[in-house]
Amino acid sequence: NSGRDAIPLFLRREKLPKNAPTGLYQPGTITSRTVLNVLGKLVGNKGHYILDNRKTGAVHQEFYRDSDLKIGAVINVWGRKITLCDCDEFTKEYYRTKYGIEDFTPVQYKASPPPKPEKTFPPYNGFGS
């Protein structure tokens, strides 16, 4: 052990599906083209196949877009509800120019700490010095 353990990764840069988790797909389920029929030998390149140009077997997923993201919105990130609380200056400028949004009031995400209870001592009962 070198002391450098791999850090688990929750999310990487990719399209974020709205309705997740959808489960695991079998290999070849999500492809750009679907093979409709296979003729001949499957070994080597001697077989023939027909591709589905209409993409009837394609899996359609809806992904989050920039118009869906706003301060205070709750999004589903792989089964976890995430509340968007604030954004950086670059994102604010992007939303100003593209959508004309001017209100970027941050949402409070941390509750105020509860007041500390006052310590009270029990009455003297005769034990001790």
pLDDT of residue 4: 76
Model confidence band, residue 122 (pLDDT cutoffs 50, 70, 90): confident
Alpha-carbon gap, residue 127 to 116, rounded angstroms: 29
Residue ranges per domain, the chain?
Answer: 34-99
Please state the three-class secondary structure of 5-26 as a single string.
CCCCCCCCCCCCECCCCCCCCC
Write out the H or E segment, with its range, that includes residue 66: none
The whole-number pLDDT of residue 32 equals 67
- Which pTM does this prediction carry? 0.59
Closest by CA to 104, choosing from 65, 66, 67, 71, is 71
